[in-house]
A and B are shown apart, each in its own frame.
Chain A
Amino acid sequence: MIEVEGLSKRFGMTQAVTGLSFRVEPGTITGFLGPNGAGKSTTLRSVLGLVHPDAGRATVLGVPYRELDRPLHRVGAVLEASEVHPGRSGRNHLRVQAAAAGIRASRVDELLALVELTAAARRRVKGYSLGMRQRLGLATALLGDPEVLVLDEPANGLDPAGIRWLRDLLRSLAAEGRTILVSSHVLSEVAQTADRVVIIHRGRLIQQAAMAEVLAGASGATRVRTPDAERMRALLAAAGISVSTTDDGALLVGAPPERAGELAAANGIVLHELSVEQATLEEVFLELTGGETTQ
């Protein structure tokens, strides 16, 4: 559906993307993750024919974006929320885009209603909040009722209610059989929506897999609660097992529960809790990208 093969791109002294290859499967929501500066936007812009790669290629629906017939009917994209003329009303922005794609004008009002911008439709975009611009961007992407959606950080600037709204919208769009590639640094959001993830770091692919696979493969921790925390801690440390204390006084142990339980039993320590802490996408991500922040 979207295929990136050996993509490389350098801007001046900055190597933005290096030999990047991945596939976005039809009918899935794929999260595209990476710290800022990892090359996400460069990759998405290459997929959309806006950036000329130095090497490699990117295709959408089997062809380079530039060769798509009626592209807005096939692929919808939201890149930067700021890419709107500030002096134009939201409605006119959509009318321009609809005219360019030969889309009937009534569709504009349908979409304004869908993204809940009807009340602000005739106001100039200058006065829109970032969240409103994001929703206008989504409306633009959906104008042609495309089967593929490419969204770059669509949750940026949305309030919690907006994020929830976006999540529901993406789910319903995916349920209609659309393919969605969404980049984000709001990892918890991606974890709740995406079927698959592509993780890149410094322009290179780190991992592409189903979300469940990524989480399962990650080293989880074992949560241990005991009245004898100090002794337990010392025993674990002596056994060469990493251990840390949580805010509520429990221990987070870098070993499977069997190991922690056996160690406690052998030393006569009473346990109040012994459970597996599932790694979050956030933790997996930090582990894979060497702890750099996503901001």
Chain B
Amino acid sequence: MSQLVRAELLKVRTTRGSWVYLIVIVLLVGLAVAGDVGSNAELRSQQEFQVGLVEAAGFSAVLAMILAITLVTTEFRHGTITPTFLAAPGRERVLGSKALAGTIVFLFFGALALVVVAAVALPWLTVTGDEIHLLDGEVATRAAETLLSVVLWGLMGIAIGSVVHSQVAALVGTLVWLFVVENLLVGLLGLLDGEEVTAYLPFRALDAADGTGGDNLVSYWPGVAVSLGWIALIGAAGVWRTSSRDIT
């Protein structure tokens, strides 16, 4: 298994696309933090505001999911799934290795995003002479929650990619579901007096699991639990789909 994980990590490292994610994370998170700190001169010395800055690192979660979907679907797109399965005919082991290798990459993404938050906010707040709370326990907790959330989003991506092997369909379908379908469902369920159900939708649950709470009806740990439930369910479908399909 460790051989397969190493091979998966090598796959990530040896394609140029993977490095683009790092650049995007640095830019997106960096700009978000800069915008937040720059436009909130009167709030920025508060602890609550500084804990909230960590939210910007959450961008890395969506990127982790996109990379994860790609990690699986690229193999089908380019046919590399053939050599992959020749090396490891136990297909569930391949998917497991992708999840494990992915987790390492997701944690790296999350950690990078957190470093960017600190790298932008710390010097800025030092220069403006604001009181610094970024090293408080509350910030550390939020950072840990963010890391867990990035891993959950990434694992969701692995699960989705193992069900929907077409790269375009998986990426477009996921983003449409995330930004359109779930919102429509929330609206619809709201009309039908079913708001409490909306909290259990996959991306609502993942949202709740980043520690920010937001407009979600489930709190943190239930959010994590529901997210894991979705990942397990979609992942199981993915193992079945991947194992039963003919590689032609």
Contacts and interface: CB of A to CB of B under 8 A. Distances in A.
A85 interface: yes
5 closest A-B pairs by beta carbon, nearest first, are A83-B79, A100-B7, A100-B87, A92-B14, A99-B7
A84 interface: yes
Contacts of B11: 85, 88, 96
A57 interface: no
A97 B7 CA distance: 7
Contact of B86 (A42, A77, A85): A77
Interface string A26-45: 00000000000000011001
Interface string B8-25: 001100111100000000
B78 A85 contact: yes
Contact of A82 (B3, B4, B79, B86): B79
Interface string B125-159: 00000000000000000000000000000000000
Which of B10, B86, B89 has the most A CB atoms < 10 Å from its CB? B86
Which of B6, B17, B244, B246 has the most A CB atoms < 10 Å from its CB? B246
Interface string B78-101: 111011111111100000000000
Nearest to A50: B247
A71 B89 contact: yes
Q: How large is the interface on A (under 10, 10 to 19, 20 to 34, 35 or more residues)?
A: 35 or more
A140 B83 contact: yes
Contacts of A72: 86-87
A100 B90 CA distance: 12
Interface in A64-107: 65-66, 68, 71-72, 75, 77, 79-80, 82-89, 92, 95-97, 99-102
B248 interface: yes
A49 interface: yes
B89 A99 contact: no
Given A79-B82, A80-B82, A45 B3 contact: no
A72 B87 CA distance: 6
B248 A95 contact: no
Nearest to A49: B89
Interface residues of B, number: 27
Contacts of B89: 49, 65-66, 68, 71
Contacts of A68: 89
B201 to A, nearest CB: 34
Contacts of B248: 11, 41-42, 45, 50-51
Nearest to A53: B246
B14 A50 contact: no
A51 B85 CA distance: 11
Interface string B59-75: 00000000000000010
A123 to B, nearest CB: 13
A48 interface: yes
B88 A83 contact: no
B15 A85 contact: yes
A52 interface: yes
A124 B83 CA distance: 18
Given A88-B15, A89-B14, 9 more contacts: A11-B246, A48-B86, A66-B89, A71-B89, A83-B79, A83-B83, A85-B80, A92-B10, A96-B10
Contacts of A11: 246, 248
Contacts of A65: 89
A51 B78 contact: no
A68 B83 CA distance: 15
B14 A51 contact: no
Nearest to B4: A100
A65 B84 CA distance: 14
Contacts of A95: 10, 14
Contacts of B16: 87
